Copies of this chain bind each other. A is one copy, B any other.
Amino acid sequence: MADKRQEIIKAAAPLLLEKGYMHTSLSDILAAADIGKGQFYHYFPSKYALGLAVVEHRFTVFTEQLLNNVLGAPKTGQARFDAMLDWVIAAHQKCSPNQGCFFGNLALEMSGQDEGFRLLLMRVFETWAERIDDALQDISNTADAPPDERKQLARTVVAMIEGGILATKSYQDINMLKTSIAAIRRLIGTYKSNCPPTE
């Protein structure tokens, strides 16, 4: 049944997060999923296909948890934006301590190697940025910015988060991410009034 396929994906996901695509061998995956080689190749044509499937699965989960539930909540844009930042910190504090961002890790590893991965991961970031853009639209003054500019701001927010996560992984210190997120709040604040942010 298709459940087995999902099981394999779910077993592989933490390995890809922890070790990356290349560092993760098929044997690692088979051991984690507790299946044989034959079964794997029944569900996936290759390790590569599994890799993409895992990204898509994590994208689905990410969409549900953050993009829909948090960023899509029936609240003000500011509230949704703030909740997102809180969610990011929480996720990296408990779910994957200092292991980096699943998407960011793979984006850096694979974007230069393979267009399939690159396009998929770019779509993840772009979708995320779109939902942030939705929230920004609702925040005073940023709402007045030209749409393109606001979209770029949203992308920059994603980039800043990824930068903070990278630093957290490198320093092995979650405070790097927290500081980056504080900087994001301050940056967004500059768009809100004529006077500087006074948080």
Contacts and interface: CB of A to CB of B under 8 A. Distances in A.
Contacts of A170: 107, 111, 118, 121-122, 125
Copy number in the complex reads 4
Main secondary structure on chain A at its contact with chain B? helix
Contacts of A160: 159-160, 163, 180, 183
A159 B169 contact: no
Contacts of A171: 122, 125-126
A155 B167 contact: yes
Interface in A149-194: 152-153, 155-156, 158-164, 166-167, 169-172, 175-176, 179-180, 183, 186-187, 189-190, 193-194
A142 interface: no
Interface residues of A, number: 53
